[in-house]
Structure 1
């Protein structure tokens, strides 16, 4: 069987997602990460209280694993169970309270709701809530009575843009645009009350547009649907951050990191320093027909050059095996030579 020629092989893969930066981000003062640390964090434990829908709920497990990955101790409580002790004399046992389903917080029995709210106000603890869609036969619009907030459910969206003016961002860079269809169906937020600050915007999925949108390629046009909000606590004294979907969308995990840092006054934040090593092991070890060609090598170098613009000193570490050198077809042997020549 003949090995595929260079003309028959697919081109090297390229990222299907690109972040389009706002020109204002070139200003280093704008890019500076938010500073959330204050003395308020001293009375908070390095722990989160997670209220889940059920002991085995998939969404609850995902949130717990994410919090653990940030080295945060987590106390998991099903919504049907009695709340654990929240404070320890003059200190708080939990730096943040997370609800897998924000509606469960609003529907707590009177006693549990009073306990949670008093704890949050006394120790300046914030709440994180994820909005889950209602039943298929349920209403597509939900109004949170007393909170001046309306939710529109089951929206199919694409692209996401962060609020450039929010002071929440620490890891994320505000003003960038994520391009692509958002996974699943979303809840979007509507309010004109001053307690709310919009955190993220999206557009209606283009598959629902009857005509081509001339402004679709604009970095700012059409972002009219709010997918995440911050409640500054002007109504009940409790800061909250609400997401219109769960952690299945990868950008929400980074937003969640900034959320935890902000609501805990820096108690639950990690250092911004990261050490990255990408080890491409045994790059010359491969069967004929699937080895690297010249195009693959140039794509690898181009990717390294692109990453070096953002990560000083970044480079791919390649494992060399002389016994397999020049053991491919003609195009692949040229790739081996180009790799060593680069």
Structure 2
């Protein structure tokens, strides 16, 4: 080897070792700076979050709700105040002119006529009766067959008759129809019937044996409750459903006989939204989808539903109809109890989810 090669190699190794040491120092200092930057960023983020949580809006107390009667007077459509559906004097006069049926001579049991044990509406009716703890008995609606025994030793077995299909009651043979009507008249028993339209239903017809006309398969708009209806108990007379109603197969009832009182009313749904009336004098027609028979025609009080129980307001009216037609013998209390689950509400800073007053 050349004498100068050894020192040169040594110098090269020394230089490389110095470069590596310098790189380690730089890397070490950079890692420290990165850790310090991350810690500083976390502290700033926590301070920013704490500031916004403490200075942010707290839970506001909900305003005291208005009584449902006041909501009607304050509801505004199109910038103008709605006209009351009925005057208070008409409501009170109408309610006092109707006498509640005396069902004391009949057992507090509901007789439910269904088309089949698997029918959807029949199961919905049964669910309401069971949840209300009303005693009932289910029978297949007879066409021309025998009617189940209705009375025993001068006492009625049922205080209310419910027909899942109103046509099963209307189209009874003359013998069974006279037998059932006579029982209802003697024992003060009422009848509830549901009429559900389908694609084969006539657009308009008269209910056989009644001064009552039907219009079927109608799309409706703006559901409202008639405050003059005597059967109202749980349901409040208020405009509850603005806008289009679900489904397009509603049935409405029309009659000029004094025995009929509309309970639920709606307007025909316009084809286009711009067809809605813009002035107060442009009143749309009101069609009755639930009609109450006050018994002035033949001495039997009835309630007719122009649809099923899929609409939630029909469920309330069905419970009210059961209570009214049975003289409150089958009725729910107006007391309600709420169970509130608050097991996870205490997580978080005080004032962000709950206040001391809550």
Verify same fold: TM over 0.5. yes
User: For residue 72 of structure 2, what is the aligned residue in structure 1?
Assistant: 22
CA distance, structure 2, for counterparts of residue 46 and residue 127 of structure 1? 14
Equivalence for 2:308: 246
Q: 2:296 aligns with which of 234, 247, 259?
A: 234
For 2:167, which of 89, 103, 119 is the aligned residue?
103
TM-score, normalisation: structure 1: 0.70
Question: Given the alignment, which residue of 149, 155, 159 partners 2:212?
Answer: 149
**Scaled by the length of structure 2, what TM-score is found?**
0.67
Matched, 1:265 2:315: no
Deviations 1:249-305 (A, max 9, x none): 10011111111111111111122122222224323xxxxxxxxxxxxxxxxxxxxxx
Q: How does 1:319-338 map to 2 (within 5 A)?
A: 320=346, 325-326=347-348, 338=352
- Would you tell me which structure has more helix in proportion to its own residues? 2
Alpha-carbon spacing, 1:338–1:96, altered in 2? closer, same or farther (3 Å): same
Matching of residues 188-267 of structure 1 within 5 Å: 188-206=252-270, 208-209=271-272, 211-215=274-278, 221-267=283-329
1:112/1:281 Cα in 2 relative to 1: closer, same or farther (>3 Å)? farther
Correspondence for 1:77: 139
Which residue of 221, 229, 232 maps to 1:158? 221
Larger radius of gyration between Structure 1 and Structure 2: 2
- The total of aligned residue pairs comes to 271
Counterpart residue number, 1:132: 196
Counterpart in the other structure of 2:178: 114
Secondary structure in 1 matching 2:353: helix
Q: Supply the RMSD in Å over aligned alpha carbons.
A: 3.2
Deviation beyond 6 Å, 4+ runs, structure 1: 34-39
Determine the structure 1 residue equivalent to 2:130. Answer: 68
CA deviations 1:78-126 (Å, max 9, x no partner) are 1146432111222221111000011110111222212211110110100
- Seen in structure 2, the aligned counterparts of structure 1 residues 255 and 215 have a Cα distance that, compared at 3 Å, is farther
Q: Distance in 1 between matches of 2:194 and 2:278?
A: 31
2:150 aligns with 86
Structure 2: segments with no counterpart, 5+ residues: 1-48, 53-65, 74-83
Preserved contact between residue 103 and residue 188 of structure 2 (Cα < 8 Å): no
Instruction: Determine if contact 1:37/1:267 at 8 Å carries over to the other structure.
Output: no
